[in-house]
Each structure stands twice: as C-alpha cells, then as structure tokens.
Amino acid sequence: MRIVNEKAFLGKDIKTPEYFIEDMCDRLNTVYNTVVEEKDEMTQLVYLIGAITGITGRLIRVCERR
C-alpha cells in the first residue's frame, strides 16, 4: 500500500493504512446514507456509480505495486 498525498474526507492528511481504511468507511457510509434517503431510483444509481468509480480509482492508486 502506498499512501502518498492522500487526503481524508475532511481534508486531513492520511499517513497510516488504518486511517485510510477509516476514511474509506466514512466515505462509503456517506454514500450509503445519501442513497437511502434519495427516493428517485435514477438518482440513486448515479450516486452509486459515481461512488464506485471514485473508490475504485482511489484503491487502484493507493494499492498499486511498485
């Protein structure tokens, strides 16, 4: 795992894998709560696709092997 220049949801620097995982959980919980509160199914889908795309890109960036 390579954590370089990663920022938490609230802008704080991420320096440990534990804090990275905690931040990812916070982001996923925020998306989940947003989707659950949204009534329109298309809007729910847009939130989920955006979240999956962002989280996938972040995991690839942090977990790439060098």
- Look at residues 54, 49, 25 and name the one whose alpha carbon lies nearest to residue 35: 49
- Look at residues 52, 21, 57 and name the one whose alpha carbon lies nearest to residue 35: 52
Decide if 3 is inside a domain: no
**For residue 66, what pLDDT is reported?**
54
pTM to 2 decimal places: 0.77
Nearest-angstrom CA–CA distance, 26 and 42: 23
Decide if 2 is inside a domain: no
pLDDT digits (tens, 9 = 90+) for 34-43: 999 999 999 9
Structure tokens at 63: 């977990």
Decide if 11 is inside a domain: no
Residues of the chain with pLDDT under 70: 65-66
Q: Which domain holds residue 55?
A: 17-63
The number of domains in the chain is 1
Decide if 53 is inside a domain: yes
